[in-house]
Amino acid sequence: MLTEDGLSRAIDGYLADNKEDIAAISVAVFTKREILYENTYGYIDIAKGLENEKDAVLEWGSVTKLLVWVSVMQLVERGQIDLDKDIRDYLPDGFLRKLKYDEKITLVHLMNHTAGFQEASAYFNEETDSADLLSLEECLRLSEPMQIFRPGETSAYSNWGAALAGYIVERVSGKPFYEYVHENIFAVLGMEHTALNADLSDNTWVQKQRQNVHCYGPELEDMGLCISFIPAYPCGSATGTIGDLTLFAQALLPDDAGGSPLFDSPQTLTALYTPTLYYPDGNTVNNRHGFWERIAYVDVFGHDGGTTGMSATLMINPTEGIGYVAFTNSFADLGSLAPMVFKSRTFPEGTTLTPEEYERFAGVYADTRGIWAGFLKADKFLGGNIIKISSDGKTVSTDSTMWQGATIKKIEENIYLVVNEEAEFSEIVFATFDETGTAKTIYFAGESIRVDKTTYAVESILFALFIGSLILSALMLIAWVVGLLRKKRFPFSKARLSVYLTTVLTLLPTVYLQSGAWVGTSYSGLVCLCLIYLLAAIVALLYIVFLFIKWSKTETTKWERAYLITTGITGLIVAFNIFYWQIWMFWLY
């Protein structure tokens, strides 16, 4: 942690060193009563030369969730919410329709992201047209995800769960969530330049200012306004000035009496910061009523956020009475500011694992935050959320280059350090083990569960055959057209052509889904994608039946028979994958 002068020099130096990657960034470091550092750097529109100033508005992303948790604790203080009560008591009858377990789900589960829900998709994405927005209740009903994990056992980050908590605030208070926040948080703190509703219509000044802000890619390529709307807005829709975000963050630091203007009693703020979730060592805090711990620093917690083209962070240390907020319209690393503000936690260097210990870790791990059932089921294995640990002492992650070639060191039981000396990167990792001593979960930027290696191998091969069959169908379609032009004889041409066309048609949505572009797709668009898959599977199966019936009556050459059989096999592989991966079940999210 630096002095005030040192802090200014360090952050200004960071901005200067990263000016090639930053379009605009707003930063404030503060105590309860004063601003230690504040800067609005760069441009919100480079082409027009619009500078980033204090009245520029940027998006909070998931930092918005802190508004939900503060609102919940306000209602707890007023006796209107019980954190240990089943949330179904606060919801309309039959609201939750996809629960796998009978155990109650509490608001603490929603705060800890341990309610067991998989990630939601349809009716939950960022909409590009405000006319497509639904009410919060409609959005949650239509986008309800499957419950995959038993409540309280697994931490699976859930935007839907946080939005559901916002809806509970709405139900209990009798007001739309954004109105409740305006009255009980924004008005109390004097936050006049922040909007929360999905279309920002609750603050027309913010709505207008947002039209001036462009977003920029990794090399400052202009991505345009990037204006989209989050139907489940309590999980990530807040937009406002750096001054307003600072006011909110300062209110989260205790005053001399240990209280906050957000609560009537100091005990409520104390309760808010009481740990509710620990890492597997049983001592290190993971979550405090929705505030995520930053274990690299002493007593530091808060939340990060990101929307299309923007990111934000809010981090505080109530013990030391200091914090910082920042947001940007480009790909700046906001976490790099933390060591300039907070005291780093000291961990032992650790000892490199023995070959036998590496064997305990070796395997494939899937992030619990993802789609485990429904039309994006394959995302669990193939969506870039897999961590692979080999038995030769090297760690590889498919979604983080920082882990490639890293070494695992043991600090103490259940606590490890992943070190990549070449990248000058290290990260604390927690692990749990089964009765045989084999690692079953690891906690690295979220919880990841070991995947059975046989299952992973079989499913990887199955998906590879799926992609291979689609490509082969495309090539065979080309060959069919060439053959037709040369007037060669192809038996059952119409039936085979239908298989080629429908299987080739599935190539486009497959690439689309695996690219992640589906995140902005409307519900009707996702239904169309699923129906395309279902059509392809039905046509492929009908072709196989047709081929079986007609086979004995067909006079063909060996070459023509090979074409017929290959078409049937590729169609069967495609159909099997479509049903196995559930990519036609648009009602499962």
Looking at 341, 363, 393, the residue that finishes a domain is 341
Contact status, residue 455 vs residue 562, Cβ threshold 8 Å: no
Q: Is residue 588 part of a domain?
A: no
Task: Please give the residue range of the domain that contains residue 473.
Answer: 455-580
Q: Which residues lie across from 363 on neighbouring strands?
A: 389
pLDDT at site 393:
67
Same domain, 215 and 299: yes
Same domain, 574 and 550: yes
Q: Do 325 and 355 have their domain in common?
A: no
Same domain, 147 and 265: yes
d(C-alpha 365, C-alpha 509), whole Å: 26
Same domain, 411 and 463: no
Q: Are residues 502 and 363 in the same domain?
A: no
Q: What is the pLDDT of residue 273?
A: 97
Same domain, 297 and 403: no
Is residue 256 domain-resident?
A: yes
In terms of domains, do 203 and 90 share one? yes
Looking at the fold, whether 92 and 219 belong to one and the same domain comes out as: yes
Q: At what angle do helices 453-485 and 558-580 cross, to 10 degrees?
A: 140
* Co-location of 48 and 126 in the same domain: yes
What is the Cα–Cα distance from 31 to 249, expressed in whole angstroms? 9
Q: What are phi and psi of 411, to 5 degrees?
A: -95, -55
Asked if residue 586 belongs to a domain, the reply is no
CB under 8 Å, gap of 24 or more: what pairs does 546-553 form? Answer: 546/492, 546/495, 547/492, 547/495, 550/492
State the Cα–Cα distance between residues 529 and 512, nearest whole angstrom: 10
Does residue 172 share a domain with residue 81?
Answer: yes
Q: CB count, 10 Å around CB of 3? A: 10
Q: Judge whether 129 lies within some domain.
A: yes
Q: How far apart are CA 207 and CA 449, in angstroms?
A: 42
Check residue 331 and give its pLDDT.
84
How many Å apart are CA 446 and CA 213, to the nearest integer? 31
Residue 453 exposed, middle or buried by CB count within 10 Å (0-12, 13-18, 19+): exposed
Radius of gyration of the CA atoms of the chain, in A: 27
CATH number of the domain enclosing 283: 3.40.710.10
Tell me which H or E stretch contains 205: helix 204-209
- Give domain status of residue 506, yes or no: yes
Own/partner contacts of 335-340, CB < 8 Å, gap of 24 or more, are 335/304, 336/14, 337/11, 337/14, 337/27, 337/313, 338/294, 338/296, 338/297, 338/300, 339/297, 340/1, 340/2, 340/7, 340/10, 340/11, 340/14
Contact 199, 207 (CB under 8 A): yes
Residue 387 has a pLDDT of: 81
Residue 217 lies in a domain: yes
346 falls within a domain: no
The answer to the question of residue 587 being in a domain is: no
Clarify whether residues 304 and 359 are in a common domain.
no
Number of domains in the chain: 3
Strand, coil or helix: 427: strand
Query: At 318, is the secondary structure helix, strand, or coil?
Result: coil
Q: Give the residue from 502, 508, 514 showing the smallest Cα distance to 581.
A: 514
* Per-residue pLDDT tens listing for the chain (589 residues): 567 788 889 998 988 888 888 999 999 999 999 999 999 999 999 999 999 999 999 999 999 999 999 999 999 999 999 999 999 999 999 999 999 999 999 999 999 999 999 987 655 566 667 777 889 999 899 889 999 999 999 999 999 999 999 999 999 999 999 999 999 999 999 999 999 999 999 999 999 999 999 999 988 999 999 888 888 999 999 999 999 999 999 999 999 999 999 999 999 999 999 999 999 988 999 999 999 999 889 999 999 999 888 999 999 999 999 999 999 999 888 988 999 999 988 888 888 888 888 888 888 888 898 888 887 787 766 655 678 887 776 666 655 565 677 788 899 888 998 887 776 677 888 999 999 999 999 997 789 999 888 888 898 899 889 888 888 877 877 777 777 777 665 555 566 667 767 777 777 677 666 555 555 566 667 778 788 888 888 888 888 887 777 776 666 667 767 777 887 888 889 889 888 988 887 665 5
Domain boundary among 311, 341, 371: 341
Domain boundary, last residue among 451, 483, 513: 451
